Structure 1
Amino acid sequence: MSNDVRRVKVIDSMRGFSLFGILLANMLIFQYGIYGKDMIHLFSLSPSDSAAYVFLKVAVEESFMPIFTFLFGYSMVKMKESLERRQLGVKRHFFRRFLLLLGFGLLHGVLLWEGDILTFYGMMGIFLLVFFLNRKAKTLLVWASILLVLTGAAGYGSLNDNMYLLSDKQTLTTYVKDTIHVYGSGTYEQIKDHRNNVDPMNIAGYKFAFAFLFTPFIMGALFLFGMYAGKKKWFYDVSANQKQYGRWAAVLIPLSLLLKGTMYVWPDANWAGSTHMLGGSLLSLGYVAGFAWVYARCERSFLMKAFESVGRISLSNYLMQTVICTTIFYGYGLGYFGKLGMIAGIFVCIGIYGIQLIVSYVYVQKFQTGPLEKLLRIWTNFSWNGKPKEKKALPEEVNHPFVG
């Protein structure tokens, strides 16, 4: 039992930690827009802000969201094992869960913000449920490795080539300039209309269908690595494997930073796009190992307990980040879109997350789950108390909450 408790705590803490990196990466979208963040030359950045921008692109963006992805796959395996022990229908519980997650994502994306990832997680959950949940650990590892290579191949192309792959430069420039005006000074309705109805890409239907079908295979590696880790019972005893986590982190983190940085050192090299994409996934695995190493040394610290609290109510915290940041940057709030600067945005991020650390820590002392987590459990288990209906009495076991 003690090993299970430890495992859940480190997973929750890791999830809470990843929310900080996700907020850091998302600040680029909150401040500059989904396309503007990659056309940063349209904004007036100081030299220090430009350096901070490169830091975020290399060390943060595309490397913290995959940690969530890894934990999503890990938690799917743990939830499956829990349902099987209770002799409950695995597929119907998962399908209901992913369906509501998909609904949350659609509402989030349509009503609030263009950077939603919940819709993607809902769709990926169904994809994994159909094709991979019942596979053996070795099969998951093989497929994860194949998809990791495919991820690198999909990034082939220079920085400038990839930016204008689906649209011409003038169209994107006009869209970003319009976005600066609308998001910075527009009303809620004007911003929502711009987000949902103005499309700079104009992707043909067959191209969109191809991208929709191909995306799970491009993005699936970290999901499958997480499922493999769950089946192999990683993180059951982080103290016993502390040195191993440290070695992995010491190799993966610097190597991955070098791989991701190649696109900014050689922006016109086609191969740099592949190393950048591959480095993003490997860096997330390095961060996972590094966090497990730190957790083994500092498990009883307040910070780890606070990370755990944020992770236990991660869905509610993720959506609250959207509410707070859109209020700060959009016209119907303070209207700081494109005006605050990169370094100031980082400090805003630290402030928001610091508040979430404290509020979450206090909240979980009184409540077991967050409000949206509770709703997700009620719908998933078809019970008002949010607990699965057991067919027979079972020993007490540990919950495995996850955003997916």
Structure 2
Amino acid sequence: MKGVSVTTNSRLVRLDALRGFALFGILAVNVWAFATGYYVSGIADPARDPVIQWIVSMFFETKFYLLFSFLFGYSFTLQADSAARAGAAFWPRMLRRHAGLMAIGSAHAVLLFHGDILTTYAVLGLVLLTLRGISPRRAVWLAVSLLVVSGVLWTLLGVLDVFTHTPIDATEVSARVAETVTAYQGTPETVVAEHLRRLPETLQLVVFVQAPSAMAMFLLGFAAGKRQVLAEPRRYRALWSWLLRAGAPIGLTGAAFYAYVVVNHPGSGTETLAMGVSILTAPLLTGAYVAALLRLFDTRVAEVFAPAGRVALSNYILQSVVLGVVFTAYGLGLVGRLSYGAIAGVVIGVYAIQLVVSALWLRSHRYGPLERLLRTVTTGTWPTAVRR
């Protein structure tokens, strides 16, 4: 019995540490949607720093939401174990949980960040719920098939787009960028109105780009959870070694191509091709990140990131709250006014504070505020928040 307790604790620490580290990557990408109206506009920001933009595109974009998705799928197996231990019906429990995620995500998308991922997770989680009887092997094959089909389709579409692409009207796009900046600098009402205006285009991106990859990573995480990969990572040394020796070079090559195109040819037909290449290769780089981090987390470094990961939902929303206060009419309204270097400084500063505050919070609390709320919706009981 003692061994089971240790194994479970080790599994949770590694999972939380990975989730805590993923928060940094999510913040490093999401900040640009707040800080500049040019993000994913199709034209380059005249005030950009190409080096910082290249670093973000190379190492963060299209990688860290995949890591979060993998961890979501892994946590799904832990939710199933928790329901079994409690003797609770799993379907009703998970339906309530995903309804709670949908409510939190919808409020987040409208009030703070139109690029919210929680609503996508709430919907795709229901798909995973229907597939929960699938074997780990079949889950892996289905995940790989999703990634390959989606990536190949986008790559072929990109090749076609290279030869048939209609140039973007830079004047029209610049006018839309100015409207976004004006709305973010206006009032809280104009901020919300801008989020609502941009939700349809965001939905297209989610459905056709993010959703297939996120679902694939759900399945890989689900298979890993069934095999308790994070509980006993040493049993899978061959996998981690392959990801570092083969997955990392392939992933980095695809990431370099993606970053080069995004930085130097935004809005071109080649950017569509780069997206297809990224869909095919980014999961390998994400896997290499996991392999490297698991080696690092064999040390006390895991204790630095794990507290933030334990309250990841609260931290994810808190990031948007802080960025909203800094860059929009909810506070300082600095959108379009900070240099790229200063924005990078905001990312590092906010994340460092979250690491410290998360550790301090968990000294006296069992859950984060939103974790406690979601747990209440899931289980139908109001858990004790304060540690004794």
Once the two structures are TM-superposed, the CA of residue 340 in structure 1 deviates from its matched residue by 1.3
- C-alpha distance in structure 2 between counterparts of 1:108 and 1:14, whole Å: 23
Q: 1:199 to 1:242 in 2, by over 3 A?
A: closer
Q: 1:253 to 1:291 in 2, by over 3 A?
A: same
- C-alpha distance in structure 2 between counterparts of 1:264 and 1:177, whole Å: 25
Give the structure 2 partner of residue 19 of structure 1.
23
- C-alpha distance in structure 1 between counterparts of 2:258 and 2:210, whole Å: 22
Give the structure 1 partner of residue 325 of structure 2.
327
Q: Deviations over 1:205-247 (max 9, x none)?
A: xxx7x98599744531111110110111101123565675254
* Alignment partner of 1:285 is 2:282: no
Query: Would the aligned equivalents of 1:375 and 1:386 in 2 still touch at CA under 8 Å?
Result: no
Q: Deviations over 1:339-387 (max 9, x none)?
A: 2122221111110010011111111111111011001111100112279
- C-alpha distance in structure 2 between counterparts of 1:104 and 1:199, whole Å: 16
1:223 to 218, 226, 231: 218
Q: Secondary structure at the match of 1:36?
A: coil
- C-alpha distance in structure 1 between counterparts of 2:229 and 2:29, whole Å: 27
Give the structure 2 partner of residue 366 of structure 1.
364
Q: 1:121 to 1:198 in 2, by over 3 A?
A: closer
- C-alpha distance in structure 2 between counterparts of 1:198 and 1:290, whole Å: 37
Query: Would the aligned equivalents of 2:114 and 2:199 in 1 still touch at CA under 8 Å?
Result: no
What letter matches 2:280 in structure 1? L
* Alignment partner of 1:262 is 2:266: no
Give the structure 2 partner of residue 189 of structure 1.
189
Q: 1:370 to 1:167 in 2, by over 3 A?
A: farther
Q: Secondary structure at the match of 1:322?
A: helix
- C-alpha distance in structure 2 between counterparts of 1:128 and 1:386, whole Å: 30
Query: Would the aligned equivalents of 2:69 and 2:218 in 1 still touch at CA under 8 Å?
Result: yes
- C-alpha distance in structure 2 between counterparts of 1:165 and 1:81, whole Å: 50
* Alignment partner of 1:71 is 2:71: yes
- C-alpha distance in structure 2 between counterparts of 1:144 and 1:200, whole Å: 27
What letter matches 2:24 in structure 1? F
Q: 1:368 to 1:124 in 2, by over 3 A?
A: same
Give the structure 2 partner of residue 80 of structure 1.
80
Give the structure 2 partner of residue 123 of structure 1.
123
Q: 1:174 to 1:94 in 2, by over 3 A?
A: same
Query: Would the aligned equivalents of 1:154 and 1:218 in 2 still touch at CA under 8 Å?
Result: no
- C-alpha distance in structure 1 between counterparts of 2:360 and 2:191, whole Å: 35
* Alignment partner of 1:41 is 2:53: no
What letter matches 1:8 in structure 2? L
What letter matches 2:42 in structure 1? M
Identity %: 29
Query: Would the aligned equivalents of 2:43 and 2:173 in 1 still touch at CA under 8 Å?
Result: no
Give the structure 1 partner of residue 154 of structure 2.
155
Q: Deviations over 1:286-341 (max 9, x none)?
A: 21121112112x1x24xx21311001111111111111111111134222212212
Query: Would the aligned equivalents of 1:159 and 1:263 in 2 still touch at CA under 8 Å?
Result: no
Give the structure 2 partner of residue 379 of structure 1.
377
Give the structure 2 partner of residue 352 of structure 1.
350
Q: 1:115 to 1:41 in 2, by over 3 A?
A: same
Query: Would the aligned equivalents of 2:244 and 2:291 in 1 still touch at CA under 8 Å?
Result: yes
What letter matches 2:32 in structure 1? L
- Cα RMSD (Å): 3.0
Q: 1:264 to 1:79 in 2, by over 3 A?
A: closer
Moved more, 1-10 or 248-257: 248-257
- C-alpha distance in structure 1 between counterparts of 2:211 and 2:86, whole Å: 30
Q: 1:280 to 1:293 in 2, by over 3 A?
A: same
Once the two structures are TM-superposed, the CA of residue 66 in structure 1 deviates from its matched residue by 0.9
Query: Would the aligned equivalents of 2:183 and 2:194 in 1 still touch at CA under 8 Å?
Result: yes
Q: Secondary structure at the match of 1:357?
A: helix
Once the two structures are TM-superposed, the CA of residue 123 in structure 1 deviates from its matched residue by 0.9
What letter matches 2:364 in structure 1? K
- C-alpha distance in structure 1 between counterparts of 2:251 and 2:21, whole Å: 19
- C-alpha distance in structure 2 between counterparts of 1:9 and 1:283, whole Å: 22
* Alignment partner of 1:90 is 2:90: yes
- C-alpha distance in structure 2 between counterparts of 1:174 and 1:199, whole Å: 19
Q: TM-score, normalised by structure 1?
A: 0.83
- C-alpha distance in structure 1 between counterparts of 2:202 and 2:359, whole Å: 45
Query: Would the aligned equivalents of 2:244 and 2:292 in 1 still touch at CA under 8 Å?
Result: yes
Once the two structures are TM-superposed, the CA of residue 124 in structure 1 deviates from its matched residue by 1.1
Task: Within 5 Å, give how 1:93-104 maps onto structure 2.
Answer: 93-104=93-104
Q: Deviations over 1:98-148 (max 9, x none)?
A: 001000011111112212111111111112112x11211111011011011
Query: Would the aligned equivalents of 1:155 and 1:276 in 2 still touch at CA under 8 Å?
Result: no
- C-alpha distance in structure 1 between counterparts of 2:192 and 2:181, whole Å: 14
Q: 1:40 to 1:215 in 2, by over 3 A?
A: closer
Consecutive unaligned residues of structure 1, counting only runs of 5 or more, are 388-404
- C-alpha distance in structure 2 between counterparts of 1:202 and 1:10, whole Å: 32
Query: Would the aligned equivalents of 1:50 and 1:342 in 2 still touch at CA under 8 Å?
Result: no
Once the two structures are TM-superposed, the CA of residue 92 in structure 1 deviates from its matched residue by 0.7
1:295 to 294, 297, 311: 297
- C-alpha distance in structure 2 between counterparts of 1:39 and 1:229, whole Å: 37
